[in-house]
């Protein structure tokens, strides 16, 4: 009884006979229904990714082997990942990697899961980079911003820092995976501290997707985020703006003459962040929206 540890979906009309042989297609259908019942956003998609991961195959394989019966050990592996997901652990942490900017990144519960909206920051930075630009990615997490840009801008050089040792190690593994370690220098430490001690000098672009959720809003987020993603990567202090308050003044001393700072922001934060940039004398301030029409990225030129 492969799925006996999982409670029966409340309203299932498609509840399978547990004594029958499970096929790829059968287990996919059952689990997608189960996930739907649990309120998981993209039940079929997630089921396919989890099954492909548990079997060690590409997702397309599931469709070319739809009628294939599954063996006990395969079902057991799948069952344990279904149980984890049913407890709201993010799919990305179960399968251990996630796509961003068309690259796959190792992820773990020590880092924020890369979000599609953060690709806007990468796109803007790639558009501003010049031959040989030097960039600094602060709060690098799994390294997704710096590594994607390193692939996009082959003549650029990068520094990337994170305060979490686990994130630092993961970013290092991802840089090796994508063969850009020779152009990314990784640092462990808080904001500008490590590049200052290393005498890295100034940068053409400073990039940051800082923690920006107000502390008391974290508890209202979906369980996948509030219970599993690292608070360190989410919590932006009482009003969500505490990192911008430090970043914006401190970055001035680390930007080249025509250097820019590019930051991701949360909903409703554009005006406050813009005001901080204005009060520090930054120029050419622009707020860029994401595809959902929300203010997502702010960029500004050094005072």
Enumerate binding residues for ligand GLN (CB under 6 A): 112, 114, 118, 139-141, 144-145, 209-211, 233
Q: Name the minimum Å distance from CB 149 to ligand GLN.
A: 11
Q: Which residue's CB atom is positioned nearest to ligand GLN?
A: 141
Tokens read off for 157:
């050089």
Q: Name the minimum Å distance from CB 174 to ligand GLN.
A: 11
Q: Name the minimum Å distance from CB 159 to ligand GLN.
A: 13
Tokens read off for 53:
């991961």
Longest dimension (CA), the chain: 71
CA atoms within 13 A on the CB side of 133: 25
| CB-nearer residue toward ligand GLN: 50 or 207 | 207
| CB-nearer residue toward ligand GLN: 28 or 297 | 297
| CB-nearer residue toward ligand GLN: 57 or 225 | 225
Angle between helices 270-279 and 242-251 (to 10 degrees): 30
Q: Name the minimum Å distance from CB 105 to ligand GLN.
A: 9
Q: Name the minimum Å distance from CB 247 to ligand GLN.
A: 12
| CB-nearer residue toward ligand GLN: 22 or 168 | 168
Give the alpha-carbon dihedral of 48, 122, 298, 279, to 10 degrees. 130
| CB-nearer residue toward ligand GLN: 37 or 250 | 250
| CB-nearer residue toward ligand GLN: 47 or 174 | 174
| CB-nearer residue toward ligand GLN: 81 or 92 | 92
Q: Name the minimum Å distance from CB 28 to ligand GLN.
A: 30
Q: Name the minimum Å distance from CB 204 to ligand GLN.
A: 18
| CB-nearer residue toward ligand GLN: 118 or 156 | 118
Q: Name the minimum Å distance from CB 131 to ligand GLN.
A: 25
SS (H, E, C) the chain: CCCCCCCCCCCCCCCCCCCCCCEHHHHHHHHHHHHHHHCCCCHHHHHHHHHHHHHCCCHHHHHHCCCCECCHHHHHHHHHHHHHHHCCCCHHHHHCEEEECCEEEECCCCCCCCCHHHHHHHHHHHHHCCCCCEEEEECCCCCHHHHHHHHHCCCCEEEEEECCHHHHHHHHHHHHHCCCHHHEEEEECCCCHHHHHCCCCCEEEEEECCCCECHHHHHHCCHHHHHHCCHHHHECCCCCCHHHHHHHHHHHHHEEEEEEEEEECCCCCHHHHHHHHHHCCCEEEEEEECCCCCEEEEEEECC
């Amino acid at each position: 009884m492969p799925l006996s540890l999982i409670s029966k979906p409340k309203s299932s009309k498609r509840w399978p006979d547990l004594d029958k042989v499970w096929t790829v297609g059968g287990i996919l259908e059952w689990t997608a229904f189960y996930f739907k019942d649990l309120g998981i956003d993209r039940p079929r998609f997630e089921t396919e990714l989890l099954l492909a991961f548990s079997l060690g195959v590409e997702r397309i394989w599931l469709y070319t082997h739809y009628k294939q019966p599954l063996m006990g050990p395969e079902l057991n592996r799948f069952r344990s990942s279904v149980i984890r997901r049913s407890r709201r652990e993010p799919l990305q942490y179960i399968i251990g990697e996630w796509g961003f900017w068309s690259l796959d990144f190792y992820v773990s519960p020590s880092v924020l899961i890369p979000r599609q909206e953060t690709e806007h920051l990468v796109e803007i930075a790639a558009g501003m980079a010049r031959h040989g630009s030097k960039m600094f990615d602060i709060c690098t997490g799994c390294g997704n911003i710096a590594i994607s840009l390193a692939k996009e801008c082959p003549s650029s050089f990068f520094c990337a820092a994170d305060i979490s040792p686990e994130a630092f190690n993961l970013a290092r593994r991802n840089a090796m995976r994508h063969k850009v370690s020779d152009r990314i220098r990784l640092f462990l430490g808080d904001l500008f501290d490590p590049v200052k001690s290393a005498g890295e000098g100034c940068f053409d672009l400073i990039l940051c997707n800082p923690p920006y959720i107000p502390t008391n809003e974290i508890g209202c987020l979906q369980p996948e985020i509030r219970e599993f993603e690292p608070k360190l990567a989410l919590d932006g202090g009482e009003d969500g703006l505490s990192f911008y308050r430090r970043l914006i003044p401190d970055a001035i001393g680390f930007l080249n003459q025509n250097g820019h700072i590019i930051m991701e922001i949360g909903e409703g934060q554009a005006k406050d962040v813009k005001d901080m940039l204005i009060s520090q004398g930054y120029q050419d301030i622009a707020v860029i929206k994401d595809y959902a029409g929300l203010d997502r990225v702010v960029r500004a030129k050094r005072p």
